[in-house]
Amino acid sequence: MNADHSYLESVKKQFLYYKMLGEKAIDQLEPTQLFVSFNDDTNSIATIIKHISGNMLSRWTDFLTSDGEKEWRNRDTEFENDLQSKEEVLQVWNKGWNCLENALEGLKPEQLSDIIYIRNEGHTVIEAINRQLAHYPYHVGQIVFYAKQLKNSEWNSLSIPKNKSGNYNAEKFAKEKEIKNFTDDELKRLK
């Protein structure tokens, strides 16, 4: 497997990992908690999801052939919450992720050095992917943090639980060395 193919497989796994983290956080909440905003300067989880999805649809639709900031996108309205139910929130969430996944599935390793544009700024395909691989986990982290704040009962940890790092490391170091993506075990654990 060449490096470009390995890169594409790695980013697909990483995006899936962050998608699952967001979903596992959302699953721990009551539906009404998705719409809670602590003050005028914070966004609810539903609003964050609306923004992520809007970004994904804009960036990944016609990824190789049109600017990633689509004329039809109205970013400002992504921060106006008009979603009414958890089902609507999840539909918006899945629409964005499906768009991203379809675009990544269509990429070929030899296209990674092609130039695409976001707001008329040229990026290699790798740079554009990396840009989004930083942006979406940033917002998923907000969702997870917010969900922990809103949770009314015990939080089911999505990473190494508090005071369990020693056990986690002992399990990892008890295994033979191997080359694999860190998400391989994490995706199994989250399922």
Single out the residue of 18, 28, 20 nearest to residue 150, CA to CA: 28
Whole-angstrom distance, CA of residue 42 vs CA of residue 65:
35
Q: How many residues does the chain have?
A: 191
Residue 156 has which token pair? 């089911």
Whole-angstrom distance, CA of residue 21 vs CA of residue 97:
13
The kind and range of the H/E element at 132 are: helix 125-150
Phi, psi dihedrals of residue 117, rounded to the nearest 5°: -120, 140
Tens of pLDDT, residue by residue, the chain (191 residues): 688 889 999 999 999 999 999 999 999 999 999 999 989 899 999 999 999 999 999 999 999 999 999 999 999 999 998 999 999 999 999 999 999 999 999 999 999 999 999 999 999 999 999 999 999 999 999 999 999 999 877 888 888 888 888 887 888 888 888 887 777 777 777 77
Whole-angstrom distance, CA of residue 185 vs CA of residue 175:
12
Q: Quickly count: other Cβ atoms within 10 Å of residue 45's Cβ.
A: 26
